[in-house]
Amino acid sequence: CRAPPICSMAAEVVRVNSIRVGGMEVTDSVATIYDLPDAPPGIDGLLGLSFLGRFEVTLDAEKPQLLLTPVQK
């Protein structure tokens, strides 16, 4: 999408059994499938709130690392 601030894209929403990032896993979630033609090399996708919303997320800029701590229900 190249027309900010408002843009729309067609995308397919699918149910996934699990998504694993590092040692963290989310089960029974949803994912949105669309092409990222301008993504830099090594970028395979984006994590959204269906995954990140289940964790306390800490960005450590010095290392650099993304730390995920499961949120207690």
Q: What is the pLDDT along the chain (73 residues), one digit of tens a residue?
A: 565 666 777 788 999 999 998 899 999 999 988 888 888 898 888 888 999 999 999 999 999 999 999 998 6
pLDDT at 67: 93
CA 5 – CA 25 distance, rounded (Å): 33
Q: What pLDDT score does 69 carry?
A: 94
pTM score: 0.71
Buried b / exposed e over 16-36, threshold 16 CB at 10 Å, is eeebeeeeeebeebebeeeee
Q: How far apart are CA 69 and CA 15, in angstroms?
A: 23
